[in-house]
Every structure is written in structure tokens, then in C-alpha cells.
Amino acid sequence: SFFMETEVDNKTDKIDDFYEEVDKGHGRLEIRKCYVSSQLDWLPNRKDWKDLNTIIMIESSRELKEEVSVERRFYISSLATDAEMIAKAIREHWGVENKLHWVLDVTFHEDDSRVRKDHAPENMSLIRRWTINMLKTAQKNFKGISLKGLRKKAGWGDSTLDVVLQGDF
């Protein structure tokens, strides 16, 4: 890839901006690096991407005890070459995704799902997310009850189920 070739050839002039974040805690060391380049001449069909401005590589390394894992993710973007801003936006986005995943797992035990055939996993994921939205809307009417508790309460009684299904209508 562009970033790997740049790294191997030590061509740092291809990188417009760089940002690094280091976190130590809980017995682990995490290093996140963000490389941003606006040099897109090499990219085929770049004209097909409306407002394409930058390519981005996030490299995350995590050291826990003696074990090191490295993950690289690549993005295309319309954003300017501000590596710190991009890195923080991407991290925030993943935080939102991880929080939603946690809510889905706690509420529906999504990680334990055995739904695997054809389009069923995608369909069930969509239904779960839609249900989470309905539960969050109805939760305003049930102070102090978790989404998981509200889901169960809706399963046990039609009056609660009616509130969940009607939402704010």
C-alpha cells in the first residue's frame, strides 16, 4: 500500500501530517499513530470519489505483558490534512460504535447469537438496532429502568409494550 511503501522507502515527504498518541495504564501500553497524505495521483479512479482530499492510515499497537499486537486501518476522506483532528474523530467514532455494541450485547446478548445463515445476521442486527432506538425513546416514560429491563418488561406486559411500540407518536 501507499503508506507501507512510504515507510519502507523512508519517503516521509509523502506524508502531509502525522499525529501520535500514547496511553499507559491498566498494565498495557497503547500507541496510536495517524498518517495523513493528500498525494493522491497514484490512486486509480480518484475522480470517482467526490471531494476526495486525503488518505489516512491509523496504526494502533498494544503491548500487554510481553505480547504486542499491531492493527492498521485505512481510510479515504474529504477532510483536510490535520492528523490530530482526524485521529480524534476516528477514535470518537469507534468509541460510539463500541458503546453501541456493548449496549446491544447487554440488552440482547448479541455476541451469543447463533443466527448465521444467509442474510439473517444482518437482518437481526438491523432489528436489534431499531428495537434499541424504540426502547431509548420509551425509556423517558420509565425512570430508573435499564434498556434490558425495559425490554423484559415489554415482553411481560402489553401496556409497556404499547408504550415502546408507539414511541413519541
Q: Is residue 105 part of a domain?
A: no
Same domain (yes/no): 74, 19: yes
Give yes or no for a contact between 116 and 145, defined as CB atoms under 8 angstroms apart: no
* pLDDT, position 8: 43
More confident residue, 47 or 34: 34
More confident residue, 12 or 136: 136
More confident residue, 13 or 48: 48
Give yes or no for a contact between 127 and 151, defined as CB atoms under 8 angstroms apart: no
pLDDT average, residue stretch 130-138: 89
* pLDDT, position 59: 93
Domain that holds residue 152: 113-166
Q: Is residue 151 part of a domain?
A: yes
Domain-terminating residue out of 83, 100, 133? 83
Q: Is residue 135 part of a domain?
A: yes
Strand 54-64: give its sheet, edge to edge.
17-25, 28-37, 54-64, 67-77
Answer yes or no: pTM beyond 0.85: no
* pLDDT, position 7: 56
| Residue 36: pLDDT band with limits 50, 70, 90 | very high
| Residue 1: pLDDT band with limits 50, 70, 90 | low
More confident residue, 8 or 11: 11
Count of the separate structural domains present in the chain: 2
Q: Is residue 125 part of a domain?
A: yes
Q: Is residue 66 part of a domain?
A: yes
Quick: pLDDT tens for 75-112. 989 988 889 999 988 888 776 666 777 778 778 787 78
Contacts of 91 (CB under 8 A, 6+ apart): 32
Give yes or no for a contact between 136 and 147, defined as CB atoms under 8 angstroms apart: yes
Same domain (yes/no): 127, 79: no
pLDDT average, residue stretch 42-59: 89
6 has a pLDDT exceeding 60: no
The H-or-E segment that residue 80 falls in is none
